[in-house]
Amino acid sequence: MCQLLGMNCNVPTDIVFSFTGFATRGGHTSDHIDGWGIAFFEGAGVRHFVDYQAATASPIADLIKRWPIKSKNVIAHIRKATQGRVALENCHPFVRELWGRYWVFAHNGDLKDFVPVLDGPYRPVGGTDSEQAFCFLLQQLRRRFGDTAPELPALTSALRELTDGIARHGPFNMMLSDGSALFVHCSTSLYYIVRKYPFAEAKLADEDLSVDFSQVTTPNDRVAIIVTEPLTANEKWIAFQTGELKVFVEGAVARV
Amino acid sequence: MCQLLGMNCNVPTDIVFSFTGFATRGGHTSDHIDGWGIAFFEGAGVRHFVDYQAATASPIADLIKRWPIKSKNVIAHIRKATQGRVALENCHPFVRELWGRYWVFAHNGDLKDFVPVLDGPYRPVGGTDSEQAFCFLLQQLRRRFGDTAPELPALTSALRELTDGIARHGPFNMMLSDGSALFVHCSTSLYYIVRKYPFAEAKLADEDLSVDFSQVTTPNDRVAIIVTEPLTANEKWIAFQTGELKVFVEGAVARV
């Protein structure tokens, strides 16, 4: 199984603190050594970094821990291979375009007997069940809504139905973003926290590192962090329910 | 106008030497300061780096100059904006998927009155004529060949026809790769060199840097470098003809 990290905010925020704790699990405090990746939306564009080395040994992971890229939507993944060999094309997150937007997707789980009919324009490049699921999601969204993106409630409802169907094949913890919303589906393990005013100090569970968020934020900032296992020891993380899909917009859970 | 750099080889090779000279034009020896990007195929996967900062000021460009990523197909670009604002989504190269392969595309030129009908699955995310041309190319290839990739001669012939049509709208120097072949179309300025045994020393034109390729190669290696303006002063670069499309495979010009 793999681990997921997502961030959704109302102002572009860097993920250096959370990523530092998360990346430590890619080889040091956990054995997720079969690659890693991270994608940052920046406006309509995406910075996409993947590597089949362990995050703890990767020169790019090292750069990202030092370079505060600011983004409103981020998805990161560290991989422990279940399906698909250790190779660049099998590293999450995956990126495709639909409706003139980039979509970013990462998955933790293991789908059995999942052989969707992929006869639309989205085909997997690598050999993972995860990329198959991503291609299937985009194909079905395009089939349902045609050439025009729907409003958030209709999109969310379609994704609830589709992720429910995929999760019948096995654990399907996943994160999906088009740069405006972050969709998160939980099968087995996901937690989230919304940091907002009054901000406090947070202390990583995997590294000896603390940050006092009240020193680096403004009162209007709001940041949602979603992760496979809580990243800090001194904050209250909320567990997702099995089968739950939540949508994060502007750093908060959207009521859709 | 922008500048392009491409590499096609028969064994995975690093582009540190050529990229170092090329990146210098992004702010020092030339005024291409509106962003840059580079994409490396590694197997079926792609490492894709884009930035809207000048290459000479970018922490990722700095990393790539020090980190020898080995690849058989690379496309790089430094941008001087003509159409589309300075933003991440407008930085080349662009990446899309077709036939279960990633395709990488970069363009130098300026297309006028180019308004292709994009009613297939490929839509531009940014505001450049270049991304429009890329979406149009993929749409037309998919329309012509359906769901299955054609053989190289048929693909090349289709790309000759399509690039000819686009080039009627203005300069269309472009590089396109699916990870096995590198297609290069010239409207105004492109040069190439094939480095092979016996290898010699090369000296950058833009930086005080030399490399003796005989020390870092084997006799079977073959590396084609294609660029807007020759990168070295002491080698014989071959100019493309206007309207010419060449295909590079395994480090040599393919006879198709």
In angstroms, rounded to a whole number, what is the distance separating the alpha carbons of residues A50 and A47? 10
pLDDT digits (tens, 9 = 90+) for A210-245: 999 999 999 999 999 999 999 999 999 999 999 999
Per-residue confidence (pLDDT) for residue B231, from 0 to 100: 95
In the predicted model, what is the mean pLDDT of residues B83-110?
95
Low-confidence winner among A129-133, A146-150, B26-30, B108-112 (lowest mean pLDDT): B26-30
Contact B50 A45 (CB under 8 A): yes
- Taking contacts as CB-CB distances below 8 angstroms, the residues of chain B near A47 are 49-51, 88
In the predicted model, what is the mean pLDDT of residues B21-35?
82
Low-confidence winner among B13-22, B168-177, B235-244 (lowest mean pLDDT): B13-22
In angstroms, rounded to a whole number, what is the distance separating the alpha carbons of residues B70 and A131? 25
In angstroms, rounded to a whole number, what is the distance separating the alpha carbons of residues A229 and B3? 45
Distance separating the N- and C-terminal Cα atoms of chain A: 29
In angstroms, rounded to a whole number, what is the distance separating the alpha carbons of residues B39 and A16? 24
Count of CA atoms in the C-beta half-sphere (13 A) of B36: 28
Contact A50 B50 (CB under 8 A): no
Note whether B155 and B209 are within 8 A (CB).
no
Per-residue confidence (pLDDT) for residue A80, from 0 to 100: 84
In the predicted model, what is the mean pLDDT of residues B238-248?
98
> Which DSSP category does A56 fall into?
G
In angstroms, rounded to a whole number, what is the distance separating the alpha carbons of residues B30 and B36? 13
Residues of B with CB under 8 A from a CB of A: 42-51, 59-60, 63, 67, 87-91, 95-102, 119-126, 142, 147
Name the residue facing B42 among A88, A95, A97 (closest C-beta): A88
Per-residue confidence (pLDDT) for residue B89, from 0 to 100: 96
CB environment B69-96: b (16+ within 10 A), e (fewer) = bebbbbbbbbbbbbbbeebbbbbbbbbb
User: Which pLDDT band holds residue B251 (cuts at 50, 70, 90)?
Assistant: very high
3-state secondary structure (DSSP) of residue B230: coil
Name the residue facing B125 among A47, A97, A120 (closest C-beta): A97
Supply φ then ψ for residue A54, to 5 degrees: -60, 145
What is the complex's ipTM, to 2 decimals?
A: 0.95
**Around Cβ B158, how many Cβ atoms within 10 Å?**
16
pLDDT at residue B27 is higher than 80: no
- Taking contacts as CB-CB distances below 8 angstroms, the residues of chain B near A98 are 121
Per-residue confidence (pLDDT) for residue A74, from 0 to 100: 98
In angstroms, rounded to a whole number, what is the distance separating the alpha carbons of residues B242 and A2? 51
- Taking contacts as CB-CB distances below 8 angstroms, the residues of chain A near B138 are none
Q: Is residue B2 annotated as a catalytic residue, yes or no?
A: yes
Whether the bond between B59 and the residue before it is cis, its omega within 30 degrees of 0, is: no
Per-residue confidence (pLDDT) for residue A78, from 0 to 100: 93
In angstroms, rounded to a whole number, what is the distance separating the alpha carbons of residues A36 and A59? 12
Q: What is the pTM of this model?
A: 0.96
Nearest alpha-carbon partner for A105 in A250, A6, A240, A237: A6
Tokens of A82: 């279940």
- Taking contacts as CB-CB distances below 8 angstroms, the residues of chain A near B87 are 43-45
Per-residue confidence (pLDDT) for residue B92, from 0 to 100: 96
In angstroms, rounded to a whole number, what is the distance separating the alpha carbons of residues B31 and B79? 9
pLDDT at residue B53 is higher than 90: no
Note whether A174 and A107 are within 8 A (CB).
yes
Count of CA atoms in the C-beta half-sphere (13 A) of B96: 27
pLDDT digits (tens, 9 = 90+) for B149-191: 999 999 999 999 999 999 999 999 999 999 999 999 999 999 9
Give the number of beta-carbon pairs within 8 Å between A and B. 88
- Positions in chain A short of pLDDT 70: 1
Tokens of A5: 């990290």
Mean pLDDT of chain B: 94
Query: Residues near B205 by Cβ (< 8 Å), separated by ≥ 6?
Result: B21, B230, B231, B232, B233
Note whether B227 and B18 are within 8 A (CB).
yes
Nearest alpha-carbon partner for A194 in A227, A241, A228: A227
pLDDT digits (tens, 9 = 90+) for B200-239: 999 999 889 999 999 999 999 999 999 999 999 999 999 9
User: Which pLDDT band holds residue B95 (cuts at 50, 70, 90)?
Assistant: very high
